[in-house]
Amino acid sequence: MTSYPALKMLINGEWIADGEAGSMDVVNPATGQVIGQCPKASPAQLDAALAAADTAFVTWSKTPGAERYMILRRAAELLRERAPDIARAVTAEMGKPRAQAIGEIAATGDVIDFLGEEAKRRGGRMIPPRSASVIAQMVTHEPVGPCVLLTPWNFPVHLPAKKIAGALAAGCTAILKPAENTPASAQLLVECFTDAGLPKGVLNLVFGDPGPVSEHLIAAPSVRKVSFTGSTAVGKHLGALAAAGMKRFTPELGGHAPVIVSKTADLDRAVAACAATKFRNAGQVCVSPTRFLVAREVYDKFVAEFAARAGKLKIGDPGADESVDMGPLAHPRRIAAMEAVVADAGGNRGEIVTGGSVITGNGFFFQPTVIANPAPDSRFMTEEPFGPIAGIVPFDAIEDAVQIANSLRYGLAAYAFSSDLDEAHYLGRSLRAGMVGINQLIVSSPETPFGGVGDSGFGSEGGEEGYLAFTDTKLVIMAKAGG
């Protein structure tokens, strides 16, 4: 692929370029230029996708797990083969540096493999009966039915793939509606599944305005599960719609991850890891380390070294220069959000140590920004920034740091650096989050569950939980015919 692909939806096995509800521009955030036209599905086209998923469920749900696995495994192989081209689309659509895009795709292949294997591995269980007349009590995991998968732009291959692989492995069919600004990434991913031999209708892809499309799809009686990754506000709205139809709902929402750096931590290692991870994907990561709570004894050194590293990052168009560390933000609304956070800091609400400004030009670039000692009630400390902004706050007692870390309604990821074993155990137990990383900032792997608590959502993706999330638990009790 040398240029941006022609965009098409997939409905009942047919690739469709004609959006009956019109089309929308796809913009390269590094240049501000329109690079494609994305078709928008009409209600009739959405209904066709719903009908296809409903019909295909009858046979796909009965297809043996080993056969489902073979198709998923082939899809993962194709994804790896096509990684160079797919990475180019990811970079063009949302500005991720190429190495990070390639890394995202490699991790995605592993997730598809793992969830595909679950289709072969995961049986039910037998429970000993209480009565001699009962022969067996069997618990099985049945596919829930057709699923609606709603995904964002920050990991435009990985997040759709996690949902698709969990659903398909479990025997569900699906309709994917990816973010409006990253349609090609989703399309190229879906092509890997169709080229792997997936029967028509099992996976459908539609584009369009997120509100009306989601509402139409969630309201359909055939849909039994909704899986959404995105903001807390939208997640609450979609959760209410799913609840009205008594549909299963998995929300993976925002976060504002704290990082506690104890005075016992290996400081050089902690600073290097924090600065490298904070600005990855321009900070547009739900588990991005963001609120740094640093022991007063090492605070000044941490601030100086973290800010120095942030200030040295190479910023630019990752489509034109593969060596950039940080690309643009995904769209102009993220720039406005960063400006609002920075405008609220300053004065006694915090000191901007480095960055703080828009980088002028055609793209949507914002400087890597470090705020020292932001006020507890500042926007930075209370709202998810979802961008290249870090705040650093000193603490005296480790219990105070835990209290600050746990003070928000978010609870996705939390991190701590400590070289004291007792303290590390205390931090692991005390931090309120779905995922806690001690002395490391990676909390996502194919084998482990990924999910949050509180305003960060509930349920998990990845790991065996990522398969079970698409199943209903069923009990069959068999007694002797003669009593």
Is 129 or 210 the residue whose CB approaches ligand NAD more closely?
A: 210
Compute the least distance from the CB of residue 334 to ligand NAD, in Å: 6
Which residues between 414 and 443 bind ligand NAD (CB under 6 A)?
none
Is 232 or 418 the residue whose CB approaches ligand NAD more closely?
A: 232
Buried b (16+ CB within 10 A) or exposed e, 447-471: ebbbbbebbbbbbbbbbbbbbbbbb
Compute the least distance from the CB of residue 59 to ligand NAD, in Å: 29
* Rounded CA separation 50/148 (Å): 9
Choosing from 93, 104, 252, 305, the catalytic residue is 252
Nearest in space to 456 (alpha carbons), one of 287, 254, 290: 254
The SS3 of residue 451 is coil
Tell me if 179 contacts ligand NAD by CB under 6 A: yes
Residue of the chain from 118, 191, 384, 455 that contacts ligand NAD (CB under 6 A):
384
Compute the least distance from the CB of residue 372 to ligand NAD, in Å: 24
* Rounded CA separation 330/93 (Å): 8
Compute the least distance from the CB of residue 244 to ligand NAD, in Å: 15
Which residues between 27 and 56 bind ligand NAD (CB under 6 A)?
none
Is 241 or 359 the residue whose CB approaches ligand NAD more closely?
A: 241
Question: Please, what is the end-to-end C-alpha distance for the chain in angstroms?
Answer: 67
Tell me if 382 contacts ligand NAD by CB under 6 A: no
Which residues between 260 and 299 bind ligand NAD (CB under 6 A)?
286
Which residues between 212 and 271 bind ligand NAD (CB under 6 A)?
214, 229-231, 234, 238, 252-254
**180 is known as an active-site residue:** no
Q: Which tokens is 257 given? A: 């991850």
The SS3 of residue 125 is strand
Is 171 or 387 the residue whose CB approaches ligand NAD more closely?
A: 387
* Beta strands, E only, 339-470: 351-354, 358-359, 365-366, 369-372, 389-395, 410-411, 413-417, 435-438, 453-454
Which residues between 316 and 335 bind ligand NAD (CB under 6 A)?
333-334
Starting at the edge strand that comes first in sequence, how are the strands of the sheet with 471-479 ordered?
Answer: 125-126, 134-143, 471-479
Q: Are 307 and 370 in contact (CB under 8 A)?
A: yes
Residue with tokens 């400004």: 357
Nearest in space to 38 (alpha carbons), one of 168, 145, 131, 177: 177
Q: Are 120 and 66 in contact (CB under 8 A)?
A: yes
Which residues between 132 and 161 bind ligand NAD (CB under 6 A)?
150, 152-154
* Rounded CA separation 55/359 (Å): 51
What residues contact 295, with CB distance under 8 A and at least 6 apart? 261, 262, 263, 265, 394, 395, 396, 398, 401
Is 65 or 391 the residue whose CB approaches ligand NAD more closely?
A: 391
* Rounded CA separation 459/381 (Å): 26
Residue of the chain from 93, 104, 113, 180 that contacts ligand NAD (CB under 6 A):
180
Tell me if 410 contacts ligand NAD by CB under 6 A: no
User: Helix crossing, 83-94 with 65-81: angle to 10°?
Assistant: 70
Is 114 or 386 the residue whose CB approaches ligand NAD more closely?
A: 386
Compute the least distance from the CB of residue 386 to ligand NAD, in Å: 4
**191 is known as an active-site residue:** no
* Rounded CA separation 79/77 (Å): 5
Residue of the chain from 13, 103, 199, 210 that contacts ligand NAD (CB under 6 A):
210
Compute the least distance from the CB of residue 321 to ligand NAD, in Å: 25
Is 196 or 329 the residue whose CB approaches ligand NAD more closely?
A: 329
How many residues interact with ligand NAD (rule CB under 6 A)? 22
Compute the least distance from the CB of residue 150 to ligand NAD, in Å: 5
Is 285 or 402 the residue whose CB approaches ligand NAD more closely?
A: 285
* Rounded CA separation 283/355 (Å): 14
Compute the least distance from the CB of residue 227 to ligand NAD, in Å: 12
Q: Which tokens is 35 given? A: 């690079």
Which residues between 334 and 363 bind ligand NAD (CB under 6 A)?
334
* Rounded CA separation 121/115 (Å): 10
Active site members: 252, 286
Q: Residues in the site for ligand NAD, rule: CB under 6 A?
A: 150, 152-154, 179-180, 210-211, 214, 229-231, 234, 238, 252-254, 286, 333-334, 384, 386
